[in-house]
Chains A and B, each alone.
Chain A
Amino acid sequence: MSPQTLAQPAASPAAAPTTSITGAVATLQALVAEGVDTIFGYPGGAIIPIYDALYDFKEQLNHVLVRHEQGGIHAAQGYARSSGRVGVALATSGPGATNLVTGLADALIDSTPLVCITGQVFAHLLGTDAFQETDIINITTPVTKWNYQVTRAEEIPEALAKAFYIARSGRPGPVLVDITKNAQMQTFDAPAYEPCTHIRSYRPAPVVRNEYIEQAAALINGAKRPFILWGQGVVLGQAEREFQAFVEKSGIPAAWTILGVGALATAHPLNVGMLGMHGNYGPNVLTNECDVLIAIGMRFDDRVTGRLDKYAKQAQVVHLDIDPTEIDKNVKTTVPVWGDCKETLPLLTALVERKEHAAWLARFNDHMAQEVDAVIREELFPTSEELTMGEVIQQLNEITGGEAVIVSDVGQHQMVACRYALQNQSRSHVTSGGLGTMGFALPAAIGAKFGAPHRPVVAVIGDGGVQMTIQELGTIMQTGVDVKIIILNNQFLGMVRQWQELFHQRRYSFVDIQSPDFVAVAAGYRIAGQRVDARDALRPALEKMLAHPGSFLLEVMVTKENNIFPMVPQGCSVAEIRLR
């Protein structure tokens, strides 16, 4: 070895080349490296350095300027739900950050992968009640899967790599990374970005245990009246094909939670409809008659189960879920199949016998026939003079053929949209399921369109909910994003009014809500619109809306005091579902 080589220490092979950049640039480089193309945000003092860096990232990152941070995070949720990718929202410290809280809670309960980045005051000011300082880490701890505060620029690449990994792996969920302003401004020698693939204390993908697969298959093969309930886990696991194969081979009737809708096409012969409080008649009644209940990627929410002590007590329960905390949480499981359903479903399909359960399936169809007579026919093809919410969805189905992405808000119109919208494919219905966030749909529809730019996106919103985030019409105006908006206006906060009618002696307490002239409001935002209050104008208006180049707001005046049926009244068992 020559003296020269001895004098120069050999470069460690592990040491990657570094470049000197600011924390703000490192933040945006991380987003680009994670494959992010669209971010939803709103600038402010504590996040100015990141916005300054964004000026040079316009080619790589499409930043959508929203009108309120809540709109930003709901848009990120809509993006994530329609695209299957991680949604990203940006907000400043203090009020900017606290405005994210509703969206975080919504995303956590609906398992939506999000990375939220908030600016924070300088690290040395933490705890001093500085201008726009709020303790967003502690505020968001109950509503995030994980959160982290960065106080030095060097922490940024690893914190964001972890954030993306945690958000999308296992049971997905929202994470928040809070970055102090000094960390955004500091320069540091940044190594090449490395995505995170492993955290030692975190087990996103449980090991599948074959004995449970075998026990589950044995139960299913011996069942006379098996029944499948599926939820969003099938969608989040990207296991739609594996799920369909399981359903078709086993021949078992399958019903969905509102977040699972579309994982199996609504028109599939084994899709027997929607579960829950306003779900279909058969799936609710027959839950208490099946002998084996197979729950896949669903969490037995109280709106699905009704009264738990009278829920499927006769059935043996097989529960497939990636999240071990869901097993036995609400319903006692006979066989737990803990794992990613993309992995467990094919194993189960291989062991189940090919069967048809014709007589059992016929019972679902009989119940559906009763429901059509009692509820559905009049809702979709009304003989009354006034328009119904259902006929709007029915007409929409006929025009779109079930190809549109529907984004619904919360309340009566949501139940109608979930019950009646045709869905040919997965990721076609974005709605706030667990949290029930009014005001979700308008911003979520904006995000859904960015996430699925080649599909028509139709937001279906009530007159109450739309007024909660109506400022996002400004986002639509400025970005030119093509979102069709249907307001089903019954001049009431309809779902609460329904409860007051049925359970509180028609004491209509503050549900009589007035609305502005929505078409005029849209016009103020230079969005085309129309108002319809007669049946013969509905179809042409829907056709005009869908054919319109760009956004369109269609306000449909519907009958004021319609109730959503069937209904499982609170405190009743699913078998006590009322048709009227």
Chain B
Amino acid sequence: MSPEPADRQEYNITAYTENQVGLLNRIAIIFSRRKINIESLNVSPSEIEGIHRFNIVIVETEEVVEKLAKQIEKQVEVLKVYYNTNADVIWQEMALYKVPTDVIAEKVLVERLLRENGARAVVIRKDYTVFETTGHREETDNLIKALQPYGLIEFVRSARIAIIKASDGFHHKLKEFERREPSEDVAENEFLNDREQVFTM
């Protein structure tokens, strides 16, 4: 085994794409083909209706990441791809924690814990309470560790979303792009619930 290249680090890949069925797979296989693990993946509409934004986190060298970014951008339905180190982005993950309400109510310590971790109650019911925090991985991890002794019921964490520090003009360009050529509607299968009415042979 060759030693781990020293310059492997987390990279944040940002891709603006069309909203099309199957594109997620087309992008995902660019990584899996090379046996690269995706550490985090967020796909959601951008601020422009019809344009989606991928945030993908992987650990690799810059040389590999650059080639991956080009391969993603080469896909017909991809508009633009950027890659950045963690130093070049501001990022957050969101986490939800479900804990028994009686424990929260009785143990003052927990309240302080939540305060210290910047958690916010989203839902408070008789049986359980859901807290929310946002932050880096270590921050959301810390609260899990702290809540575990108090009967943590369920936990979920979102993928990372990242804002690029040097992104002057992004929004304007995106708006202009969409204005010049509006996006097409995504075509989905509308027959899946029509089984009884269709002749099938």
Contacts and interface: CB of A to CB of B under 8 A. Distances in A.
Find the residue from A126, A202, A323 having the highest chain B CB count within 10 A: A202
B177 A200 contact: yes
A324 B177 contact: no
B51 to A, nearest CB: 9
Interface string B87-118: 00000000000000000000000000000000
* Interchain residue pairs A-B with the least CB separation, the first 9: A123-B191, A124-B191, A325-B70, A200-B181, A146-B76, A202-B76, A151-B189, A201-B79, A124-B194
B71 A166 contact: no
A324 B22 contact: no
A201 B18 contact: yes
Interface stretch (A17-25, A135-143, A396-404, A477-485): A135-143
A182 B191 CA distance: 10
Given A124-B192, A151-B191, A182-B198, A142 B74 contact: no
A201 B26 contact: no
A329 interface: yes
Interface string A114-127: 00000000111111
Given A124-B194, A201-B77, A328-B66, 7 more contacts: A126-B189, A127-B192, A146-B77, A151-B189, A151-B191, A325-B67, A325-B71
A203 B177 CA distance: 14
B59 interface: no
A202 B75 CA distance: 8
Find the residue from B21, B70, B195 having the highest chain A CB count within 10 A: B70
A86 B105 CA distance: 71
A147 interface: yes
B191 A141 contact: no
Nearest to A125: B200
B190 interface: yes
B43 interface: no
Given A125-B200, A142-B33, A199 B191 contact: no
Interface string A314-328: 000000000111001
30 contacts: A123-B189, A123-B191, A124-B192, A124-B200, A126-B192, A127-B192, A138-B22, A138-B25, A141-B22, A141-B29, A142-B29, A149-B21, A149-B22, A151-B190, A152-B187, A152-B190, A155-B187, A166-B76, A182-B198, A199-B76, A200-B177, A200-B183, A201-B17, A202-B76, A202-B77, A324-B74, A325-B70, A325-B71, A328-B66, A329-B67
Interface residues of A, number: 29
Contacts of A151: 187, 189-191
A139 to B, nearest CB: 11
A323 B74 contact: yes
B83 to A, nearest CB: 14
Contact of A124 (B26, B181, B195): B195
B144 interface: no
A81 interface: no
Interface of B: 17-18, 21-22, 25-26, 29, 33, 66-67, 70-71, 73-74, 76-79, 177, 181, 183, 187, 189-195, 198, 200
A413 interface: no
A145 interface: yes
Contacts of B187: 151-152, 155
Contacts of A328: 66-67
Contacts of A329: 67
A302 to B, nearest CB: 15
A329 B192 CA distance: 43
A340 to B, nearest CB: 16
A145 B78 CA distance: 13
Nearest to A121: B200
A145 B76 contact: yes
A138 B22 CA distance: 8
A122 B191 CA distance: 9
Contacts of B25: 138, 141
B198 A122 contact: yes
B22 A137 contact: yes
Nearest to B29: A142
A145 B26 CA distance: 10
Contacts of A202: 76-77
Contacts of B17: 201
Contacts of A201: 17-18, 76-79
Interface in A320-351: 323-325, 328-329
Contacts of B76: 145-146, 166, 199, 201-202
B26 A141 contact: yes
A207 to B, nearest CB: 15
A94 to B, nearest CB: 15
A173 to B, nearest CB: 10
B43 to A, nearest CB: 16
Contacts of B21: 149
Find the residue from B70, B71, B73, B191 having the highest chain A CB count within 10 A: B191
B22 A122 contact: no
A122 B26 contact: no
Contacts of B33: 142
Nearest to B16: A201
Contacts of A325: 67, 70-71, 74
Interface string A491-527: 0000000000000000000000000000000000000
B17 to A, nearest CB: 7
Contacts of A199: 76
